[in-house]
Structure 1
Amino acid sequence: MARVIFHTATTLNGYLADDEDSLAWLFAVPGADQAENDFGRFLDGVGALIMGSTTYEWVVDHEKLLDSPEKWFYSGKASFVMSSRELPVVAGADIRFRTGDVSALWTELVAAAGDRDIWIVGGGDLVGQFADAGLLDEIRVSIAPVTLVSGRPLLPRRLESDRLTLESVGRAGQFAELVYSVRKPE
C-alpha cells in the first residue's frame, strides 16, 4: 500500500514560504545542493504527487514551465493539483486538476501511485487535510538555518506528540533532517 509522505523544507521558525509565496530563502542556503542530491533517491520511490494551487503556480512561474515544459521535474509521475480555479497546464505533463475533499480522491491517488509512495509537495493546509482524514503516514522535514518574520506555516494544524513519532535525524549540509511517522487519529 502506498504511503503518503509530506517531504519539505522549512525555516527554523516553521515557514514553508514567505508572504509572497517565494522560496528564494531556501535556495540561498549553503549546502542546498547537497540536500537536493539526497532528494533524488526519495523521488525515485514516488509514484504520484499532489500539491495545492499556490505551490503549482509557484513551480510553473519560477521554472517558466509554460515556455520550457521539458523542465517539469516530475515526468512519469501522476501529478494532482487541488484547485477550484482554472490553471495553465504544462505541456506533456501528467497533471490532473481536482477539487473537493482529499478523501474522495484517495482511490484515484493510490491507483496512480501503484506500488510507490504518494508525495504531498505542499502546501501546509493540504497536508493538514490529509492529516485530518487520517491519510498522512510520514512527515520528512529539512530545517534550514533561516528565519522569516512571517509566511506560510509548515502545517497549520495541531498534531500532538501522541500522533508523531521521531524515526530519524540526519544532516545534509546546513539542513537538519527529521522524519516523523504519523499515527492515525482516533
Structure 2
Amino acid sequence: MTTQFYGASSLDGFIATPDHDLSWLLQFGDIEGSSYPAFIRDVGALAMGSHTYEWMLKHAIDAGQPWPYQQPAWVFTSRTLRSVAGVDVRFVHGDMRPVHQAMVQAAAGRNVWVVGGGELVGQFHDAGLLDELIVQVAPVTLGAGAPLLPRRITKPGALRLQSVATLGGIFAELRYAVQRP
C-alpha cells in the first residue's frame, strides 16, 4: 500500500490555470492510451482537494457524466460543498493523519491516491504521509496557475527518481519515491 500523487503538470510546473481550470489537459485526448488504467486498478481510496472536487462536479456530474470513481473519496475542504447522490464522498477538514488512517483502512491493502490539488499533495508530504509522486509532464506552458507542489523540497535524496517513460510520444512520466522523514 502506498500513498501516491498521480497527475499531470505543464512543462512550467502547473497543474491548473489560475482559475483552477484543467481543460488545457483535455486537448490530449483519451486516458486509455496512458498509464491511468493500470494505475487506477490499484487504487482503493482517494483524497481530493475542494477545487478538484468542484471541477469534477462541473465537468462530469453537471455535464451528465457519471462520477468516475468506484472508490470512496475524502474531500478536504473548509467549505460546505454539495454531495453526489449514490457516491461515497466524505467531506473532511483538520488534521489529515486520522483521515489518512481511515483511508488506508478503506483501501484494504490497495493504494491511496492524492488526486489533487498541489496544496493538498504538499500537506500530505509535510505530514510524512506521501510515498510516491507520479507526474506526466505535458508539452504546454501555462505561465501561471496552481503549482504542482507548492513546497520547497531541497534536501538531497528527499525525492528519488524511480523511472522515466514516454507516453504516446507526448508526455514524459516521472516517478519519484518520497523519502519520509
TM-score (norm 2): 0.94
Mapping of residues 108-123 of structure 1, within 5 Å? 108-123=102-117
User: Identity rate of aligned residues, in percent?
Assistant: 46
Mapping of residues 76-115 of structure 1, within 5 Å? 77-115=71-109
1:170 to 142, 165, 174: 165
Q: Which runs of 4+ in 1 moved over 6 A?
A: none
Tell me, in whole angstroms, the C-alpha distance in 2 between the residues paired with 1:84 and 1:78.
19
Question: Aligned-residue CA RMSD in angstroms?
Answer: 1.5
TM-score (norm 1): 0.91
Distance 1:66 1:148, change over 3 A: closer
Tell me, in whole angstroms, the C-alpha distance in 1 between the residues paired with 2:33 and 2:123.
27
5+ residue gaps, structure 1, are none
Conservation of the 8 A alpha-carbon contact between 1:139 and 1:182: yes
Mapping of residues 1-186 of structure 1, within 5 Å? 2-29=1-28, 32-33=29-30, 37-63=34-60, 65-66=61-62, 68=64, 71-75=66-70, 77-160=71-154, 161-173=156-168, 174-185=170-181
Q: How many Å apart are 1:48 and its aligned residue? A: 0.1
Distance 1:93 1:66, change over 3 A: farther
Distance 1:179 1:67, change over 3 A: closer
5+ residue gaps, structure 2, are none
Q: How many Å apart are 1:66 and its aligned residue? A: 4.8
Q: How many Å apart are 1:27 and its aligned residue? A: 1.2
Tell me, in whole angstroms, the C-alpha distance in 2 between the residues paired with 1:89 and 1:34.
25
Post-superposition CA distance 1:13-71 (Å, at most 9, x none): 00000011111111113xx42665420110010000010101100111011x1573x61
- Between Structure 1 and Structure 2, how many residues are aligned? 179
Post-superposition CA distance 1:99-145 (Å, at most 9, x none): 11211312211111111000000000101111011110000000000
